[in-house]
A and B are shown apart, each in its own frame.
Chain A
Amino acid sequence: MLVNNFSWKIGGEAGYGIKSIGALLARSMMRLGLFVFTYDEYPSLIRGGHNAFEVTVSPGPINAPKRPINILVALDQTTLNQHANELSDDAAVIYNSKTVKAPTALLPKNTRLFPLPLQEIVSKLGGQKIMHNTVAWGASLALLDVDFDFVKTMIESSFDTKDPKIILQNIKVASEGFEYLRRNYSIKDFNYKVEKRNNPGRILMTGNEAIAWAAIKAGCKLYAGYPMTPSTSILHTMADNADEYGIVFRQTEDEISAVNMVIGAGYAGWRAMTATSGGGFALMSESLGMAATLEVPLVIVEAMRPGPSTGMPTWSGQGDLRFVLSASQDEFPRFVLAPGDVEQCLNLLPIAFNLAEKYQTPVVVMTDKHLAECYKTIDRANFKPVTIERGEVLSESQLAKIKDYKRYAYTDSGVSPRALPGTKGGVHLVNSDEHNESGFTDESSEERVKMMDKRFRKLEAARKDIPQPVFEGDGHADITLIGWGSTRGVILETLKSLQSQGVKANFLQILCLSPFPKEAVMNVLKKSKKIAIVENNKTGQLAGWLKENIGLDPHYKVLKYDGRPFFTEELIETVKELL
């Protein structure tokens, strides 16, 4: 019997409410004091097509989805056929007895079957058709040996609607799902169950939500954006909370308008942000260079999905690293940060805003669909008070003491104090043409070189402020895994598992990709016996960047670019083969 340790999955047609019921199950487990990590797969369609949502439940912190699946809820035949091979030998399948044919030869021999007349239960109780997923949720709780009372409490406290009729109907159908399973089947021999633990008020959040909230915390006062999967829930979270937190929210006509509005606000002295995916970032890239040469703070979130072009809109990948590192014409300093989990999103966004303002330089925060949309249980304590550093901004009285204010004054750090529009005594030109210290257009050989060098000095000055790589695991390991972004979760789970099998491995996560933390990375790698880069792209973009920066080739590249994240079992096997 395994307590509080299992993976649950639901599948059905798009439009069946798969995601919302999956999130409800995840939230239920969190309320019961457990840790969860969710993973969903869905096509870029509103109706039809196949959706699946899985919830990995664990008694302790969990960082990645875990397979095999122990409970599968099949709302249709496709679910059963597509996911039968993901099941453990002792798995249970709850399915719609009217529409799904089971058992099939695809299922493991000992699969426990729980056919339920989902639709009949809903129509008998006068519910709406979509509520068959609520029935399945109730049945899942019954199977996991959760107390019946929890069903009602959970629905009452979780549904967004204020309509008591809808809540009541959902309680009715969920309760009947729960009781139907208990009446008709025994759960005595089922290997997985839930036992309530202390819940210290954890929360369930996606990377996108964490980014939005961290930005709000850090004083982001204008958000402009355009919908693009998988960045869109940042847009939604900002829209939902704009009024309460005094944020100007604008959905613009395109990403170009969004980024320019953010640049305008940043120039005027507001903290502002936009988020998009690769395609939208491509549209923004000319403006990225403008912000860099005007030396206006800018924060862009780039949530990656597989390309090229439209690619696979609702899937995950890390193929934009090289693009973000070099987007826009010619060369200019930029910060590129890549949080690896929900907690790091909370930590890095305030840093992104500080770097952008302190160094008057664009910052791109890179995530991917896997981080952007997967839910994870986190501690509220991760929402620490943020320190706000705005860099040098001159006041009217400071400007009064300066005889000839130069917006782009040559300094050792390369940072020239700003005067915000509206400040008396600070009138100046910010200029996308190459310019001199005063901002006037200047194409002389001498000024060009000086100004280019000044901009690049900022990157060196910022080295003391950039987030350092994160090192995890044994100092003397047989193998070092290097990653960036969302692979953090699966690598941590892999490390845990390898350790329990007596394999020594460690992990170096690069949080700041530009400027590249050469020394810190070298310090770790010079002690490594074997080095493997783990990335979700075709060519090993971090590997190339590593080589360019520190002249080192990793021994192995572990690459996956099918739109799916690495799964723990898969990565464990791969790493073992490398040893």
Chain B
Amino acid sequence: MSTQKDFTTSYTPNWCPGCGNFGIFPATKMAFVELGLEPHQVAMIFDIGCSSNGSNFFRVYSFHGIHGRALPVAEGVKLANPELTVLADAGDGGGFGEGMSHFIHTARTNIDITYLVHDNHLYSLTTGQTSPTSGRGLKTKTAPGGVIDRPFNPLAAALINGATFVAQGFSSDIPHLAGLIKKAIKHRGFAFINILQLCVTFNKVNDQNWYKDRIYKLEGTNHDSSDYYRALAVATREDSKLPLGVLYQAEKPTLSDGLQLTVKTPLVKQPLTNVDISKSLEKYS
């Protein structure tokens, strides 16, 4: 049985003291442990950003790629080896800015991977520029007069494009977040968790108190996560409330089902030999 320590490298996390990543990091490891996973069974594909520097701290098969491209890499890894537990891990900049098209299109595939987005409403590694989820009016280094664009709605986007598990967590509520990540990994299909995250260094507006006034847990309401339209209503509510928990979950055919891949014999474990194609040459004769 593995422990959180097994999922931790010797490299000391260098996030700012108080950073929301210090909540997401243990919550993710907690989920791995509770699911009985071992480090070699997990592949985490990281984006670029503060959150993705976590690639140095997670002791799993970690892939630290380039900005915005975690999802297609994760798709390639999962297709090649369906036995692996595959997670893509990005921030709101890479996830919803540079990598937006991959988010929409990967949701459509319903591939059996988990996508964690650390959403602190800012580009923080580059010292605090506007991100796609920055709220209107938020003053940033690139919007000194306040952001004028409407923020992107990741939960609704995931829902309307085919994600079969859509949830929202909060970096300061570690046990709750760990529970969500556990459910997401167990879910068969594309599981997306938007993780509301504090950035204590650059985001002085969306701080602990700001969130406290807005978050509420779906678990305490009569929310039915099998009801797509209720999930959509929760995801698109116009008031200032921020739901935490599973908005939607449904069992639907995954990409592997469509491609008729079988988990029993991942081809990556089979020997690679010359493939005989001679019968196919007839049509060229």
Interface string of A210-231 (1 = CB under 8 A from B): 0001001111011010000000
Question: In the complex the two chains form, is A265's CB within 8 Å of B62's CB?
Answer: no
Question: In the complex the two chains form, is B76's CB within 8 Å of A421's CB?
Answer: no
B257 to chain A, nearest CB (A): 13
Given contacts A219-B272, A431-B55, A441-B56, contact A248 B79 (CB under 8 A): yes
A196 to chain B, nearest CB (A): 16
B105 to chain A, nearest CB (A): 4
Residues facing A in B76-132 (CB within 8 A) are: 76-81, 83-84, 101-102, 104-105
CB neighbours of B60 from chain A (8 A): 427
CB neighbours of B277 from chain A (8 A): 213, 216-217, 245, 383
Question: In the complex the two chains form, is B259's CB within 8 Å of A248's CB?
Answer: yes
B21 to chain A, nearest CB (A): 15
CB neighbours of B241 from chain A (8 A): none
CB neighbours of B101 from chain A (8 A): 253-254, 257
Question: For the complex, what is the distance from the CA of A217 to the CA of B280, rounded to whole Å?
Answer: 11
Residues facing B in A228-260 (CB within 8 A) are: 241, 244-246, 248, 250, 252-254, 256-258, 260
Question: In the complex the two chains form, is A272's CB within 8 Å of B11's CB?
Answer: no
CB neighbours of A441 from chain B (8 A): 11, 53, 56, 64
Name the CB-closest residue of A to B63: A430
B96 to chain A, nearest CB (A): 15
CB neighbours of A433 from chain B (8 A): 64
Check A425 for interface membership: any CB of B closer than 8 A: yes
Check A529 for interface membership: any CB of B closer than 8 A: no
CB neighbours of A254 from chain B (8 A): 101
B239 to chain A, nearest CB (A): 34
Check A32 for interface membership: any CB of B closer than 8 A: no
Question: For the complex, what is the distance from the CA of A258 to the CA of B75, rounded to whole Å?
Answer: 10
Question: In the complex the two chains form, is A263's CB within 8 Å of B102's CB?
Answer: no
Question: For the complex, what is the distance from the CA of A290 to the CA of B67, rounded to whole Å?
Answer: 11
Q: Choose the segment among A2-10, A132-140, A144-152, A385-393 that binds chain B (4+ C-beta atoms closer than 8 Å).
A: A385-393
A162 to chain B, nearest CB (A): 14
A391 to chain B, nearest CB (A): 12
Question: For the complex, what is the distance from the CA of A4 to the CA of B267, rounded to whole Å?
Answer: 48
Question: In the complex the two chains form, is B72's CB within 8 Å of A432's CB?
Answer: no
Question: In the complex the two chains form, is A421's CB within 8 Å of B81's CB?
Answer: yes
Contact among A201, A245, A427 with B61 in the assembled complex (CB-CB below 8 Å): A427
Check B263 for interface membership: any CB of A closer than 8 A: no
Contact among B39, B72, B273, B280 with A388 in the assembled complex (CB-CB below 8 Å): B273
B42 to chain A, nearest CB (A): 9
B201 to chain A, nearest CB (A): 20
Name the CB-closest residue of A to B53: A441
Check B285 for interface membership: any CB of A closer than 8 A: yes
Check B43 for interface membership: any CB of A closer than 8 A: yes
Question: For the complex, what is the distance from the CA of A258 to the CA of B63, rounded to whole Å?
Answer: 17
B248 to chain A, nearest CB (A): 23
Check B268 for interface membership: any CB of A closer than 8 A: yes
Question: In the complex the two chains form, is B62's CB within 8 Å of A270's CB?
Answer: no
Check A422 for interface membership: any CB of B closer than 8 A: yes
CB neighbours of A246 from chain B (8 A): 267
CB neighbours of A219 from chain B (8 A): 272-275
Check B1 for interface membership: any CB of A closer than 8 A: no
Question: In the complex the two chains form, is A262's CB within 8 Å of B76's CB?
Answer: yes
Check A420 for interface membership: any CB of B closer than 8 A: yes
Question: For the complex, what is the distance from the CA of A261 to the CA of B101, rounded to whole Å?
Answer: 14
CB neighbours of B84 from chain A (8 A): 268, 421-422
Check A305 for interface membership: any CB of B closer than 8 A: no
Check B29 for interface membership: any CB of A closer than 8 A: no
Question: In the complex the two chains form, is B81's CB within 8 Å of A269's CB?
Answer: yes
Question: In the complex the two chains form, is A286's CB within 8 Å of B66's CB?
Answer: yes
A405 to chain B, nearest CB (A): 11
Check A520 for interface membership: any CB of B closer than 8 A: no
Check A202 for interface membership: any CB of B closer than 8 A: yes
Interface string of B40-58 (1 = CB under 8 A from A): 1101010010000101100
Question: In the complex the two chains form, is B275's CB within 8 Å of A216's CB?
Answer: yes
CB neighbours of B41 from chain A (8 A): 422
Contact-size category for A: 35 or more
Question: In the complex the two chains form, is B40's CB within 8 Å of A424's CB?
Answer: yes
Contact among A248, A267, A286 with B73 in the assembled complex (CB-CB below 8 Å): A267
Question: For the complex, what is the distance from the CA of A244 to the CA of B280, rounded to whole Å?
Answer: 10
Question: In the complex the two chains form, is B80's CB within 8 Å of A269's CB?
Answer: yes
Question: In the complex the two chains form, is A203's CB within 8 Å of B105's CB?
Answer: no
CB neighbours of A260 from chain B (8 A): 65, 69, 72-73, 76
Contact among A261, A380, A440 with B76 in the assembled complex (CB-CB below 8 Å): A261
Question: In the complex the two chains form, is B102's CB within 8 Å of A257's CB?
Answer: yes
Question: For the complex, what is the distance from the CA of A294 to the CA of B61, rounded to whole Å?
Answer: 13
Check B74 for interface membership: any CB of A closer than 8 A: yes
CB neighbours of B9 from chain A (8 A): 429, 440
Check A207 for interface membership: any CB of B closer than 8 A: no
Residues facing B in A277-311 (CB within 8 A) are: 286-287, 290, 294
Question: For the complex, what is the distance from the CA of A536 to the CA of B108, rounded to whole Å?
Answer: 42
Residues facing B in A437-493 (CB within 8 A) are: 439-441
Question: In the complex the two chains form, is B64's CB within 8 Å of A430's CB?
Answer: yes
Question: For the complex, what is the distance from the CA of A218 to the CA of B277, rounded to whole Å?
Answer: 10
Question: For the complex, what is the distance from the CA of A267 to the CA of B277, rounded to whole Å?
Answer: 26
Name the CB-closest residue of A to B43: A421
Question: In the complex the two chains form, is A432's CB within 8 Å of B76's CB?
Answer: no
Check A504 for interface membership: any CB of B closer than 8 A: no
Question: In the complex the two chains form, is A264's CB within 8 Å of B64's CB?
Answer: no
Check B284 for interface membership: any CB of A closer than 8 A: yes
Residues facing A in B1-59 (CB within 8 A) are: 9, 11, 38-41, 43, 45, 48, 53, 55-56, 59
Question: For the complex, what is the distance from the CA of A560 to the CA of B22, rounded to whole Å?
Answer: 60
Question: In the complex the two chains form, is B40's CB within 8 Å of A287's CB?
Answer: no
A152 to chain B, nearest CB (A): 18
Interface centre among B56, B59, B105 (most CB of A within 10 A): B56
Question: In the complex the two chains form, is A428's CB within 8 Å of B72's CB?
Answer: no
Given contacts A217-B277, A219-B272, A265-B79, contact A287 B63 (CB under 8 A): no
CB neighbours of B268 from chain A (8 A): 268-270, 420, 422
Interface centre among A221, A254, A267 (most CB of B within 10 A): A267
Residues facing B in A14-45 (CB within 8 A) are: 30-31
Check A358 for interface membership: any CB of B closer than 8 A: no
Question: For the complex, what is the distance from the CA of A294 to the CA of B62, rounded to whole Å?
Answer: 11
Question: In the complex the two chains form, is B62's CB within 8 Å of A222's CB?
Answer: no
CB neighbours of A209 from chain B (8 A): 284
Given contacts A203-B281, A257-B101, A421-B84, contact A264 B261 (CB under 8 A): no
Check B209 for interface membership: any CB of A closer than 8 A: no
Name the CB-closest residue of B to A378: B284
Check B278 for interface membership: any CB of A closer than 8 A: yes
Question: For the complex, what is the distance from the CA of A495 to the CA of B124, rounded to whole Å?
Answer: 63
Question: For the complex, what is the distance from the CA of A244 to the CA of B281, rounded to whole Å?
Answer: 13
Check A423 for interface membership: any CB of B closer than 8 A: yes
Name the CB-closest residue of B to A384: B274
Given contacts A203-B285, A427-B39, A432-B66, contact A268 B76 (CB under 8 A): yes
B193 to chain A, nearest CB (A): 21
Check A154 for interface membership: any CB of B closer than 8 A: no
CB neighbours of A256 from chain B (8 A): 69, 72
Nearest 3 pairs between A and B by C-beta? A264-B76, A268-B80, A260-B72
A-B contact pairs, 15 of them (CB 8 A): A30-B285, A202-B285, A244-B280, A260-B65, A260-B73, A262-B76, A265-B80, A268-B84, A269-B81, A272-B76, A287-B66, A287-B69, A422-B83, A429-B9, A429-B56
- Please give 8 more A-B residue pairs, beta carbons under 8 A apart, in addition to A257-B105, A439-B62: A216-B277, A254-B101, A257-B101, A270-B81, A386-B274, A421-B61, A428-B61, A431-B62
A-side interface residues toward B, CB under 8 Å?
30-31, 201-205, 209, 213, 216-219, 221-222, 224, 241, 244-246, 248, 250, 252-254, 256-258, 260-272, 286-287, 290, 294, 380, 383, 385-388, 390, 420-433, 439-441
